[in-house]
Amino acid sequence: MSRSKAPDIRTGNASYADEPVAPVVYEGRAPRVPAHLKATGKEVWRAVWAAGSGAYSPDTDRNIILRYAELHDRRAEFIARVDADGFMSEGYSGQPVAHPLLRFVESTEKELRSIETVIGFTPEARMRLGLVAAEARKVAASPEDF
């Protein structure tokens, strides 16, 4: 049996337009950017709230989005340090080893990936949560685009 409905062009995949879209749980302004965030974290904070288009509640989702922004700040600091020092450093017996902060970059990225899954920033998570992919793509845009 074939379906006669057209693909849903909002998501860019072969889903159908009658699939559910994430409910709007909050229609107010995004929460103010926390002052302690650095440039990268502030940018991520704004982008996440803009991409959510009402799917995130400041009451229930603020802390996970804050954690996500803080982790981006941490990752940016680690990467800047590795860029300044170089990828390789000297081990105990003088042998070349990878910069020690690269382990922390990797663990930070692992935490970021788990949060991205929870808040719908992967294709699979968007499908599971019913978020429109076009809205989540806004995260990749710069804050000036909003």
CA dihedral 59, 65, 66, 70 (to 10 degrees): 170
More confident residue, 24 or 64: 64
The pLDDT tens digits for 112-134 are 999 999 888 888 887 777 655 44
Query: Residue 53's pLDDT band (boundaries 50, 70, 90)?
Result: confident
User: According to the model, what pLDDT value does residue 26 have?
Assistant: 65
pLDDT-based confidence at residue 136 (cuts at 50, 70, 90) = very low
1-39 core/surface letters (b: 16 or more CB in 10 A; e: else):
eeeeeeebeebeeeeeeeeebbeeebeeebbebeeebee
Assess contact for 135 and 59: CB atoms under 8 A: no
In single-letter form, the type of residue at position 37 comes to: L
